[in-house]
Structure 1
Amino acid sequence: MTHPFLETERLVLRPFTTADADDLFALDDDPEVMRFINGGEPADRDAILTSTLPRLLHDHPCSGTRGFWAAEEKATGTFLGWFELRPLDDHDPTVVELGYRLNRAAWGKGYATEGSRALIDRGFTDLGVERVTANTMAVNTRSRRVMEKSGLSFLRSYVGDWPDPIPGSEHGEVEYELLKTTWER
């Protein structure tokens, strides 16, 4: 068993292993889960093994952490998805990106907010984080609500030049942030 990185009342966040490939494939193969990521396109098992998993297993030397963690329900050990608190620059732990991707069975239960808040607290208290940023499509109201409930504030809207636009991308993207000085208040 992999040693947990973080535990909350209902979640265990642990480092990914190669044994998580099937769970990652199932997560990314759900069109509703991927709706605001790639428009709900089917997952590619080879891409999970050659691209996704190596990204999730990457160690960030500046923070001494992976940046991505598998999320399990504490009571059952069920794989729920993942959380991200990843340095934007491998040599600077002060600015991190918050992210999450949970399976549909986990939606609407407060897991995304619970895991995000715990990671933010860990980042500000133990990992040298000064600024947390998060981005999503402007139309992704559920994710925006999680960001707000996790303490982040709307920073800006912007339009990306995406090679393969998906439904909703015409409304642009949004960025949220939380500064350590604000969190400390």
Structure 2
Amino acid sequence: MIIETPRTRLLPVCAADVDDLVLLDSDPEVMRYVSGGAPTPRGEIVDWVLPRAQSHLRSSRGGLWVARQRESDHFVGWVSLRHPGHSRQSELELSYRLGRRWWGSGLATESSGALITMAFRTLGTQRVFATTTAANVGSRRVMEKLGMCLTWVAMPDDCADPDLADVEYELSRAQWELGQAPTVRFRRIATGHSTKDAVSGGRHRRAATTEFPFIATEAG
């Protein structure tokens, strides 16, 4: 399925996109909050990222779409939806990764918004969520612009630095249908281990609830 937005064309990922994906992940700034700046090996993209993304596309439970600028066909990055393997709920995880050239352009919000619409309207999911590191202010702003709200914060063991926490934002079908932001802005704070997903940069919680200062993004 090809998805078009006012400025981008989203195409299901294919083998022809490998070079662009490798180049994207070779930028240390792009990978700063995913792998600490380390590039993704080409073999990992060819042997693991691409097959898994295509499997999700075939199963109609999400997938990975390459974003290209409509006017120039320039590679912008990618956006994806996937059903978490550990979950039995009707939910999809939203992820996105854009080249540094396109940061601040609104294209991440535009492309991700198109996938959210598909998730609720076509795939019938009940909840879309996204995760990142608390320090990743740019990514968190995108989530907030999409109408998502912060629902939990997970701190690694023996760590008191809020910037190192994992955060999750969510948007429910009911909230999306009403076209309004959630009224409950925060659900819980947790501490404990977290595991990072190699494709999306997402993190899945495995933690116990505790008190911790609320983590807010910068204004802007």
Q: Runs ≥4 in structure 1, deviation > 4 angstroms?
A: 89-93
Q: Which residue of 1 aligns with 2:12?
A: 15
**Shift of residue 94, structure 1, vs aligned partner:** 2.3
Q: Deviations over 1:157-184 (max 9, x none)?
A: 00357xxxxxx88621000000011111
**Shift of residue 117, structure 1, vs aligned partner:** 1.1
SS state at 2:171 partner: strand
Q: Which residue of 1 aligns with 2:55?
A: 58
1:184 matched to 2:177? The reply is yes
**Distance verdict in 2 for CA 1:54–1:158, change over 3 Å:** same
Q: Considering only CA atoms, is the larger Rg found in Structure 1 or Structure 2? A: 2
**Distance verdict in 2 for CA 1:154–1:75, change over 3 Å:** same
Alignment of structure 1 residues 3-152 onto 2, 5 Å: 4=2, 6-59=3-56, 64=60, 66-89=62-85, 94-152=90-148
Unaligned runs of 5+ in 2: 179-220
**Shift of residue 92, structure 1, vs aligned partner:** 6.3
**Shift of residue 60, structure 1, vs aligned partner:** 5.2
Q: How many Å separate the matches in 2 of 1:71 and 1:24?
A: 11
Q: Deviations over 1:84-116 (max 9, x none)?
A: 121224996820001100001111100000011
SS state at 1:97 partner: strand
User: Per chain length, whose mean CA-contact separation is higher, i.e. which structure has more relative contact order (CA < 8 Å, sep 6+)?
Assistant: 1
Calculate the TM-score normalised by the size of structure 1.
0.86
Are 1:13 and 1:70, in contact at CA under 8 Å, matched by a contact in 2? yes
1:172 matched to 2:165? The reply is yes
Q: How many Å separate the matches in 1 of 2:26 and 2:138?
A: 20
Question: Superposition RMSD on alpha carbons, in Å?
Answer: 2.2
Q: How many Å separate the matches in 2 of 1:42 and 1:26?
A: 9
Q: How many Å separate the matches in 2 of 1:67 and 1:160?
A: 29
- Report the AA paired with residue 139 of structure 2: S
Q: How many Å separate the matches in 1 of 2:92 and 2:111?
A: 15
SS state at 1:98 partner: strand
SS state at 1:139 partner: coil
Q: How many Å separate the matches in 1 of 2:56 and 2:130?
A: 20
- Report the AA paired with residue 108 of structure 2: A
**Shift of residue 54, structure 1, vs aligned partner:** 1.7
Q: How many Å separate the matches in 2 of 1:82 and 1:45?
A: 16
Calculate the TM-score normalised by the size of structure 2.
0.73
How many residues end up aligned between the 2 structures?
175
Q: How many Å separate the matches in 1 of 2:34 and 2:71?
A: 29
- Report the AA paired with residue 8 of structure 1: T
Q: Which residue of 1 aligns with 2:212?
A: none
Fraction of identical pairs, as percent: 43
Q: Deviations over 1:124-180 (max 9, x none)?
A: 11111110010000100000000000110000100357xxxxxx8862100000001
